[in-house]
Amino acid sequence: MSKNIGFISTRFAGTDGVTLEASKWASVFKNCGHHYYWFAGLLDRSPERSFLVSKAFFQHEKNRWIDTQIFGKKRRDPAVSDAIYDLKSYLKKQLKEFIRTFDIHLLVAENILTIPMHIPLGIALTEIIAETQIPTIAHHHDFYWERTRFAVNAVGDYLRMAFPPKLPGIEHVVINSAAQEELALRTGISSIIIPNVLDFENPPQINAKQTEAFWQSIGLQKDDVKILQPTRIIQRKGIEHAIQLVEELDNPRYKLIISHEAGDEGLEYAEWLREEAGQRGVDLRLLNTHMSDPINPDVNHKDTYSLWDVYPHADFITYPSLYEGFGNAFLEAVYFKKPLLINRYATFVQDIEPKGFDLIVMDGYLTHKTVSNVKAILETPDCRAKMVNTNFDIAAGHYSYNVLRRWLNILLTNFFGDDL
């Protein structure tokens, strides 16, 4: 029997990792015969399946004010507690209405019971789960203890209560083994690992005209060598290493392009990168174009550029992240059969590297040998083809929709038995 599944987060829009993975889960649920609906403060989904509540967005002015009062501080003013309670009560009513309107059978909490970007929303959902016992999958992407900006806070009581909550009726899903271990150690909560995935059974559908138009729109020529950094502009992405790489490749034809907008965590890093690239003589292109989620069927992909328009003409991918919960850009590069440079961040070392991928790696800093390896791959088509085909085959076995489908069916069976 088909189920109505409600996805809940602060935002389902654009190309952040949480949005992208939620779209993939929704696609797999749909292919299994289920229906899905969206609750968030920012949405680019079909209105017929959406429940938009602006105060649920983590950047809403009320939530931003609360954040300024509780992080980096150890004492919470009573007025802040009252503001959290008031916003929680409002969001709780909205969540109940969402569940009633779409007759939701199962909730998927996308990171809102994980990282405290919106304390009132996390508390509201926790209370609903405790009161109704509605089946819930808590999909955890990155926990608050993984981020230094949440280390000093005045909401330890709320964090222990709802980030994440330890309640019957919740199945906890993490995206890497370190998160699974730390969650168990800190809270006693058991979880399963479902890695990020892509539809490796079906190659990407590429609009050749739109893809070429995208690259022309940013002023690149056909003979330019396009080095793509397919991430948001935030400091933990280590983009300065990509600038250093292009500088040391020492060829004016090599252009560095960053595909995502800045803004989620401020604009200072983007400004610093511009200055750094200028001083190093690197042609850096920071895109101001809003990228849409290529897996979201509700976006008019004919009139907007998506990530799938960026990858096809890229010659090489840089991914020098200092930290990642999993690493969507890694999977996307492999999916589009692109060679890449990757920094050996912890999750990569523990969960991905043992699979045997053929990659160019760095270990916190860029060496002359690494630069030489990049140059060799760019200049040797046969080696490049062997590398990317090997990587695609490995990823298809470990990170495909088939893997996700099996796990989701197990979770649904745990909740509903064989009545599916």
pLDDT tens, per residue, the chain with 420 residues: 899 999 999 999 988 889 999 999 999 999 999 999 999 999 999 999 999 999 999 999 999 999 999 999 999 999 999 999 999 999 999 999 999 999 999 999 999 999 999 999 999 999 999 999 999 999 999 999 998 999 999 999 999 999 999 999 999 999 999 999 999 999 999 999 999 999 999 988 887 777 777 777 778 877 889 999 998 888 889 999 999 999 999 999 999 999 876 655 558 888 899 999 999 999 998 876 667 777 888 876 566 777 888 888 899 999 999 988 898 899 999 999 999 999 999 999 999 999 999 999 999 999 999 999 999 999 999 999 999 999 999 999 999 999 999 999 999 999 998 655
Question: What is d(CA 322, CA 378) in angstroms, rounded to the nearest whole number?
Answer: 24
Query: How many angstroms separate the CA atoms of 42 and 60, rounded?
Result: 10
pLDDT of residue 343: 96
Instruction: Identify which of 91, 107, 98 has the alpha carbon closest to the alpha carbon of residue 50.
Output: 98
| Closest among 5, 7, 33, 26 to 293, alpha carbons compared | 26
For 286-300, the DSSP string reads: E--SPPB-TT-TTS-
CA–CA dist 46, 420 (Å, integer):
25
Would you state the pLDDT for residue 244? 96
Tell me the C-alpha distance between 418 and 363, whole Å.
47
Is CATH 3.40.50.2000 the right assignment for the domain spanning 4-197+401-416?
yes
**Cα angle for residues 128, 122, 234 (degrees, 5° grid):** 155
Euclidean distance between CA atoms 126 and 163, whole angstroms: 9
Nearest of 347, 411, 70 to residue 182 by alpha carbon: 347
Q: Residue 264: its pLDDT value, please? A: 57
Residue range(s) of every CATH 3.40.50.2000 domain in the chain: 4-197+401-416, 208-398
Burial class, 22, CB count within 10 angstroms (exposed 0-12 / middle 13-18 / buried 19+): buried
* Residues in Cβ contact with 59 at an 8 Å cutoff, skipping those fewer than 6 apart: none
Alpha carbons 18 and 109: distance in angstroms, whole number: 10
CATH classification for the domain delimited by 208-398, as one of 3.40.50.2000, 3.30.479.10, 3.90.1150.10, 3.40.50.880: 3.40.50.2000
* pTM of the entire predicted model: 0.90
Distances (CA, A) of 136 to 64, 92, 183, 184: 27, 16, 17, 18
